[in-house]
Amino acid sequence: MSELTYPLARQRPFDPPDELAELRQQAPIHRMTYADGHQGWLVTGYAAARAVLADPRFSNRPERMHPPIPARLDLTKEMREQFRVPPGFFLRMDAPEHTRFRKLLTGQFTVRRMKQLEPRIEEITGACLDRMAASGKPVDLVQAFALPIPSLVICELLGVPYEDRDQFQNDTKVLVNLETKAVDAIAAMQRVSAYLYGLIQRKRAKPDDDLLGGLVESGELNDEELTGVAFLLLVAGHETTANMLGLGTYALLTNPDQLALMRDDPSTVDNGVEELLRYLTIIHLGPVRNALADVEIEGRLIKEGETVTISLGAVNRDPERFPGGDHLDVTRPAGSHLTFGHGIHQCLGQQLARVEMRIGYPALLRRFPGLRLAVPPEEVPMRSDMSIYGVHSLPVTW
């Protein structure tokens, strides 16, 4: 039995746990003991991670997975039925079931479509910064900037009333919290689903000119499937970019030379966003896959039924792919990071996230050239307890 269990505790706020770097030095893939005793695998090497994520012989269906960490262990057999993947939640489906949903949506998230949103995202960002300037200092940058921008954008795009955000923002936090009990996660899932189901019904009765309205109109999906799709897009659309904006700003504030480049050199911004995505890798746990057949990866035989956990944080620091990758360097070619994943599940909303960050960081830094932490760096509360890493809050002044 392997002595290795999944390391989650970070020694420093921006670096993955040190154990992962040590493991990566030894080999790209390791035997690991899962929370239920399963003997599975941990991937820490870049090439191995790409190979697993691109291979259709690895499933993403949750019922096949063994838990890499002891979370939600109160899950009983009866609860498992309630905890199943909602219809339409295509992130956790395999092809060809997954393909049907993805193809319905990809046209809505193209590079061109997302570029067309730029003026509106600039407007939303500007309004947040205006309110922040007027509010007096210090402010919590998460509440004033990092969370509202992507939330407003995804709400408008999907057609979810932003005033209803209390119906899903708190429950999203419950769902991504690694310490949440299964019983509470199920309740949170049911509350958000009930809200979205009601919203879909209203759109069915009175068609709206937004993404969800369009999906309703298309007649391709039933209301349960539409609810699952809406759930996935809403949660994925605000929690992720919000944490990149929060954690990214914190990282820049502690690396003033990098901050200056992002603020003063527009030609650095696009690549700088990729480097922040790579360096910070806010996916704190996983992705996790399960082998549908025996597969050889980097000389190790992964047997059918075995679970593989990929540490994207370790993978994105692999010196074979990113030499000197433990340093933040916004001029480094970082485009091939795996933060958005790889293979058929690569993030659907990644081009939206890019636009939001390419607008967000420089707008913030130019509006408040004197931006700085309002607390000692070690007092910034880190989201070590969440599956999406970041800062719980970021007190700043200027």
Contact residues for other proteins (CB under 8 A)? Answer: 53-54, 102-103, 106-112, 335-336, 340-344, 346-348, 350-351, 354
Residue with tokens 């290795």: 4
CB of 99 to other proteins, least distance (A): 8
For other proteins, the closer of residues 227 and 351 by Cβ is 351
Comparison of 179 and 270: residue with beta carbon closer to other proteins: 270
31 or 113, CB closer to other proteins? 113
Judged by beta carbon, residue 110 or residue 190, the one nearer other proteins is 110
Contacting residues for 385 by C-beta, under 8 A, at least 6 apart:
177, 178, 179
For the sheet with 395-397, list strands across it: 139-140, 395-397, 372-373
- What CA–CA distance (Å, rounded) separates 162 from 139? 22
Smallest separation, CB 306 to other proteins (Å): 23
CB of 325 to other proteins, least distance (A): 17
Smallest distance, other proteins to C-beta of residue 90, A? 11
Burial pattern 144-176, b for ≥16 Cβ within 10 A else e, equals bbbbbbbbbbbbbbbbbeeeebebbbebbbbbb
Is the Cβ of residue 32 or residue 114 nearer to other proteins in the bound state?
A: 114
Q: Which is nearer to other proteins, 231 or 340 (CB)?
A: 340
Least separation, in Å, of the C-beta of 162 and other proteins? 26
* In the complex, least distance from residue 292 CB atom to other proteins, rounded to whole angstroms: 18
Token readout for 266 is 């527009």
> Measured on CA atoms in the order 382, 386, 388, 392, is the torsion positive or negative?
negative
CA-CA distance, 106 to 118, in Å (whole number)? 18
Measure the CA–CA gap between 346 and 60, rounded to whole angstroms: 12
Q: Cβ contacts of residue 161 below 8 Å, gap of 6+?
A: 155, 199
| Nearer of residues 103 and 137 to other proteins, judged by Cβ | 103
Question: 222 or 336, CB closer to other proteins?
Answer: 336
CB of 345 to other proteins, least distance (A): 8
Phi, then psi, of 173 in degrees rounded to 5: -60, -40
The letter for the amino acid at 224 is: E
Q: For residues 328 and 355, which CB has a smaller minimum distance to other proteins in the complex? A: 355
Q: Least distance in Å: CB of 347 to other proteins?
A: 8
**Cβ of residue 220: shortest distance to other proteins, in angstroms?**
12
